[in-house]
Structures are given as structure tokens and as C-alpha cells.
Amino acid sequence: MKDALFQPMRLGKASLKNRIVMPPMTRSRATQPGNIANDMMATYYAQRADAGLIVAEGTQISEMGQGYAWTPGIYTQEQIAGWKKVTDAVHAKGGVIYAQLWHVGRVTHPANIGGQQPISSSALKAENVKVFIDDGNSAPGFVDVVEPREMTKDDIRHVIGEYRQAALNAIEAGFDGIELHAANGYLVNQFIDSEANNRTDEYGGSIENRLRFLGEVVEAMTNAIGAERVGVRLAPFTSLNGTVDKSPVETYTAAAALLNKLNVVYLHIAEVDWDDAPETPPAFKQAIREAYKGTIIYAGRYNAENGAKAIAEGIADMIGFGRPFIANPDLPSRIMNDYPLAPHDPETLFGGAEKGLLDYPEYQTR
């Protein structure tokens, strides 16, 4: 059954050696000041280049788009040059790598965005949400987010332009394509989900209106770099960072149909993966498959067996394995050969240096 994970495929113009995806995972190790991708990150991703596709960690498109300390950006020449080291290292190992373009919207604190007030679809604070800051005055740590201001039409146009430029910057940095982060309660998600958006203009209210920002961002990026290099990540049933939709099946089936019309190269569905989370309804997965005709990636509670089954049944084309990739740089080989998986150390997930990033070995056969 696991053979389904190892069938090669095409993604846009790229040839993928398998259907195993390393999905985006924040590791908070960008060089400071400047939030610049570095040699350590290049080694980390190159170690994992046997994935069919790597989607690099969330990368802010502007200073205002940053939610957490020490995450990388892609809006300065220094940041582009830093990412070029990463993409060169991955390509040298025969890998394919996409950038995940990220604007957090309201999920931040003034300390992370130059003292400014965060922006969002609406002036609604994300309740019970904390972000990590390093303001240089006190010890780095978690603080509550603050109330954002509602974006004006000019703000919306400006941010769409930032997404477009970030897509161009990603291609300049050597990425094979980009993934729009429209999931997990960040800015695009704050427009999509009904409970985070109380606008009364053409960007709020109906499902069509709440999907308008998503569509305009995607269109700007596909016009800039080609639809065959643009994927989108959605999280239909999550309540992460305070975004909830009152009718997620209807909303996200419509989103899939919109992305089909815009001809994006893939749709990446992040399923809720905490232990007692509800399963994504099978009927919803079927509806997504019918609404969107391109490559579909699912990530969440997958192992080799149920991931291969999802591909064999035609629900998914590729499967993302997040946490297993942290401690198992050779994950495709381990899956192929039934080698045991190493556990990751939760203490070294965010921040720090090489420990917990580069020091997980490949499996040694005796």
C-alpha cells in the first residue's frame, strides 16, 4: 500500500520523486537583526531534500506581516540572498522547494512590527492568543496579542501588492514556487472565516465577499509568476488563533472552486491534528476533490499507512508529514524501509541554534 507514496509525479513544471511533502513548520532561527535565512537553515532543508516537495517555513512578506520573533522574511535583498543559499542547497541534493508566504494580520504584537498597530479584516481581537516577542528590553517571551485596526481599501491594495512582490522575490531567491498561507487564523483566513470578519463592504458578509481577498491575492501572484508556481494552504476546520467559520463545509468548498477557477497548482489542506480533534468529514474531502481539479495535499494526522490509502483512494495526491520530518531527515527512506521513527525534542522546536535542528541523524542499519 505504501507504494502509493512513492509514485513520481509532476507539479507544474517540476518533477517530484515521490508524493511525500515536508510541510511548513516554524523553527524561529533566522539571523538577527534582519530576519534572514542562513547557512544553518540551508543545511536543515538540504538534509530533508528527499521529500518529493518541501514547503519552507512561514516567511513574512513585510515587517507588518511578522507574528513571532526570529522568523524569516522575504522583503529585503538580504533576505532574498539568505533564501538563495537555502534553495541552492536543496537543489544541489535534487530537491524541490516552495516558499510559504505569510502575513499574520492580527496575530502579532506591536513589538514584532516596529511599534505599529496590527491590521486585520476587522477590528476584532483574537481572544486567548499569545505570540512570542523579543523587544530587546526584557527576556524574550509570550505576550497577548492586541486589538487590530480594520484594513482600509488602500491597506488591502497595498498588502495585495506586497504578496505580489513577495512571490517575485521568492522566484528571485530560487524557489520552485510559492504557497500562500491562507490557513491557521492568519490574515487571509481572517477575511475568509465568518467569525473573524464583520465587514459590511465587498470584503465581508457573504461567502463570495469573504473569499474576495483570497482571490485577489492569488490573482496578483499568479499574474506575477504563473499559476503553475502558486499553491494555497487552507485549514477549513481549525480554530487556531481564534478564527472560526460558522459553515466551513460551504465556505471551503466554495474556496476550492475559486482556486480551481484561478488554476493554482495545488491545494494544501491542513487538518486539525490534536489528539481528540474530530475527523475531517469524508463527504467534505469528496466535495473538495470535485470542486478542485489540481493537485491536492493533505497534512495532519497521517502515517505511512493512512497517507498511502488516501492517495490510493483518490482523495489526495500528496501527503504532508510535519513533525516526523523534524527528527527524521531521511523520512522517505524510513517509510520505504519500515525503519522506526525517532521522536523530536519539543524543547528545541523554536529558537536556539543547531541543537534540535541539524543533529537528528539518518537511520543507521547495523
Return the active site residues: 186
Single-letter code of the amino acid located at 210: R
CA atoms within 13 A on the CB side of 366: 0
Backbone angles phi, psi at 282, to 5 degrees: -55, -35
Beta bridge partners of 22: 54
Instruction: Determine whether 359 is exposed, middle or buried from the number of CB atoms within 10 Å of its CB (0-12, 13-18, 19+).
Output: exposed
CA-nearest of 220, 111, 117, 104 to 162 is 220
Backbone angle region of 311, left / alpha / beta, with phi > 0 → left and psi within -120 to 50 → alpha: alpha
Please report the DSSP string for 110-126 in residue order. Answer: GGGTTTPPPEESSS-PP
Q: Give the relative orientation of helices 39-47 and 77-92 as an angle to the nearest 10 degrees.
A: 30
Backbone angles phi, psi at 330, to 5 degrees: -100, 35
Q: Is 176 helix (H, G, I), strand (E, B) or coil?
A: coil
Q: Is 242 helix (H, G, I), strand (E, B) or coil?
A: helix
Q: Is 77 helix (H, G, I), strand (E, B) or coil?
A: helix
- Listed in sequence order, the residues at least 6 apart from 75 whose beta carbon sits closer than 8 Å to its beta carbon are 60, 61, 62, 63, 162, 165, 166, 169
CA-nearest of 188, 203, 175, 200 to 235 is 188
Contact yes or no for 201/142 (Cβ under 8 A)? no
